[in-house]
C-alpha cells in the first residue's frame, strides 16, 4: 500500500497583543507579506487583548502589530520586529509612538534606615513604558549605578551601556523587558563589604524597594527581582540575595572580590540552602578567577547546579574593567529573563561541574 501522502495540518500558534486601545483596531503583519493584514480572532478584556491564530509555513516568522484608525494611516508598532516560533504562543505589549525622554536621567536619594548612609538611584524604563500601561516588569537592581549609563559619570570614562544592551536583547527577542535600578552608594568599600553591607541592605530592602514598587510598574516577588554587580558590587549582590532570598530570587556576581571583607563562605557552608538562581563569572588571569571558582565549587558542594540554578563562566584574557562587564552582561540577563522556556540541556552546560554531575538517562 502506498503511504498517506496528505499534507499534515499545521498547528496554530497564538499571538496575544496587549494594548490599551482607546479607538480603532489592531492587526498583524507578517514577514511573508508585510502589506497584508492578519485579522484578529478574538477581543478580550474590553479590547485590551487582541488575539490572533497563525499557521506558520516554516519554524518561525517575524511579525509586527499595526494600529488602524478611521481616516488615518496605519501606524506600525515602534521598535524591532517580533519573533514568533511555531508552537510557542506569545503575548506582547507594543507601543506605537517612540519616546524621546531620558529615562535614567533623574536621580533620587533615600535616607538610610536607622541612621545608615543614604542610597541614590535612578531607574531605566524600557521603550514604550509610558504608553503601554498594561505592562508590568521584572526589576534588576545593579550596584555602582554611576557606571551603567553615561561614560562621563562612570569610573575611568567607561560605562556598561545597559541601555544599548537591552535594546540589542529586545531586537533579538531574547528576554522579557525589564526595569533597571542603578544603585549609587556613598562609600562602596563600606557599603559593599562586612559589616557595612548589612545596613546598606536594610536601606535597600526597606526604603528603596518599596519606593520603586510604588512609583513604577514593577512585578513583585523574588521570581521577578534580581540583584547584580561586579567586583565588590558582586560581593554585595550575593550577600543581598543570600540575606533576603524572599526579596531577591536571582543574583549575578561578575569578577567578584569574594573573601576580602565578607563572611559569605562560612555562611554558605553552615546555613540552609536558599532558593536562588546564581550567575558567577570572572576573567582570567587577574580578575578574581580563583576566588570565583572556589565559590562555584562551594555552591556545588551545597547542592546548587542540579536544578539549573547555577551558571558559572570564565573568560580568558578578560580584564577587571567596565568594558568587559558590558560585553558579558547579556548572559545573566538571558539566564534570568529569557524569552521562552529554557532549552532541555543538562545542568553541566550551566556551569555545574561537581562530583555528582548527572548523566543522560
> pLDDT class for 2, splitting at 50, 70, 90?
low
Share of the chain above pLDDT 70, in %: 91
d(CA 13, CA 348): 32
Q: Is the pLDDT of residue 3 over 70?
A: no
- Kindly report, residue by residue over 48-107, the tens digit of the pLDDT: 999 999 999 999 999 999 999 987 889 999 999 999 999 999 999 999 998 888 999 999
Catalogue the E-assigned strands of 74-208. Answer: 75-76, 82-85, 90-92, 108-110, 119-124, 139-142, 179-184
How far the first Cα of the chain sits from its last, in Å, is: 38
Least confident of 67-71, 173-177, 244-248, 339-343: 339-343
Q: Is the pLDDT of residue 360 over 80?
A: no
d(CA 311, CA 306): 11
Arithmetic mean of pLDDT over the chain = 91
- Kindly report, residue by residue over 330-346, the tens digit of the pLDDT: 999 999 999 865 544 44
> pLDDT class for 280, splitting at 50, 70, 90?
very high
Q: Could you say which architecture CATH assigns to the domain 13-92?
A: Sandwich (2.60)
pTM of the model as a whole: 0.92
d(CA 302, CA 51): 45
CATH 3.40.50.1820 fits 108-350, yes or no: yes
Give the pLDDT confidence score for residue 100 in this predicted structure. Answer: 83
| Residue 336 contacts residue 330 (beta carbons within 8 Å) | no
- Kindly report, residue by residue over 288-347, the tens digit of the pLDDT: 999 999 999 999 999 999 889 999 999 999 999 999 999 999 999 999 999 865 544 444
Measure CA 270 to chain center.
Answer: 30
Q: Residue 102, SS3?
A: coil
> pLDDT class for 4, splitting at 50, 70, 90?
low
d(CA 186, CA 52): 51
Q: Where in the chain is the domain with CATH 2.60.40.10?
A: 13-92
Higher pLDDT, 335 or 158: 335
Give the pLDDT confidence score for residue 356 in this predicted structure. Answer: 40
Phi, psi of 134 (to 5 degrees): -80, -20
Share of the chain above pLDDT 90, in %: 84
Q: Where in the chain is the domain with CATH 3.40.50.1820?
A: 108-350
d(CA 298, CA 268): 8
Phi, psi of 235 (to 5 degrees): -60, -50
Give the pLDDT confidence score for residue 5 in this predicted structure. Answer: 61
Give the pLDDT confidence score for residue 351 in this predicted structure. Answer: 44
Give the pLDDT confidence score for residue 101 in this predicted structure. Answer: 86
Q: Is the pLDDT of residue 241 over 90?
A: yes
Q: Is the pLDDT of residue 171 over 50?
A: yes
Question: Position of cell 526589576?
Answer: 139
Amino acid at each position: 500500500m502506498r503511504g498517506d501522502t496528505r499534507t499534515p495540518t499545521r498547528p496554530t500558534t497564538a499571538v496575544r497583543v496587549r494594548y490599551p486601545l482607546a479607538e480603532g483596531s489592531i492587526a498583524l503583519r507578517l514577514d511573508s507579506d508585510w502589506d497584508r493584514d492578519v485579522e484578529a480572532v478574538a477581543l478580550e478584556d474590553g479590547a485590551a487583548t487582541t488575539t490572533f491564530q497563525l499557521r506558520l509555513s516554516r519554524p518561525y516568522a517575524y511579525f509586527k502589530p499595526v494600529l488602524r484608525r478611521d481616516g488615518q494611516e496605519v501606524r506600525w508598532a515602534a521598535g524591532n520586529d517580533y519573533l514568533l516560533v511555531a508552537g510557542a504562543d506569545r503575548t506582547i505589549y507594543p507601543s506605537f509612538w517612540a519616546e524621546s525622554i531620558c529615562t535614567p536621567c533623574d536621580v533620587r536619594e533615600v535616607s538610610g534606615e536607622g541612621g545608615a548612609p543614604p542610597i541614590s538611584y535612578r531607574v531605566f524604563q524600557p521603550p514604550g513604558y509610558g504608553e503601554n500601561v498594561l505592562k508590568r516588569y521584572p526589576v534588576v537592581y545593579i550596584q555602582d549605578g554611576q557606571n551603567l549609563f553615561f561614560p562621563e559619570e562612570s569610573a575611568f570614562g567607561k560605562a556598561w551601556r545597559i541601555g544599548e544592551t537591552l535594546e540589542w536583547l529586545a531586537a533579538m527577542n531574547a528576554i522579557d523587558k525589564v526595569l533597571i535600578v542603578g544603585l549609587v552608594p556613598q562609600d562602596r568599600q563600606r557599603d559593599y563589604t562586612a559589616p557595612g553591607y548589612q545596613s546598606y541592605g536594610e536601606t535597600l530592602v526597606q526604603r528603596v524597594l518599596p519606593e520603586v514598587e510604588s512609583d513604577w510598574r514593577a512585578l513583585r516577588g523574588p521570581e521577578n527581582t534580581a540583584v547584580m554587580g561586579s567586583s565588590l558590587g558582586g560581593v554585595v549582590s550575593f550577600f543581598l540575595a543570600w540575606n533576603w532570598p524572599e526579596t531577591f530570587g536571582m543574583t549575578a556576581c561578575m569578577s567578584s572580590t569574594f573573601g576580602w571583607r565578607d563572611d559569605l563562605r562560612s555562611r554558605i557552608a553552615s546555613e540552609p540552602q536558599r532558593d536562588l538562581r546564581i550567575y558567577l563569572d570572572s576573567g582570567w588571569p587577574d580578575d578574581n578567577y580563583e576566588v570565583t571558582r572556589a565559590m562555584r565549587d562551594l555552591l556545588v558542594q551545597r547542592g546548587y547546579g542540579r536544578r539549573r540554578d547555577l551558571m558559572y563562566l570564565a573568560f580568558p584574557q578578560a580584564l577587571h574593567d567596565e568594558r568587559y562587564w558590558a560585553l558579558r552582561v547579556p548572559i545573566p540577563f538571558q539566564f534570568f529573563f529569557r524569552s521562552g522556556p529554557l532549552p532541555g540541556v543538562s545542568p553541566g552546560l550551566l556551569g555545574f561541574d561537581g562530583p555528582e554531575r548527572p548523566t543522560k538517562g
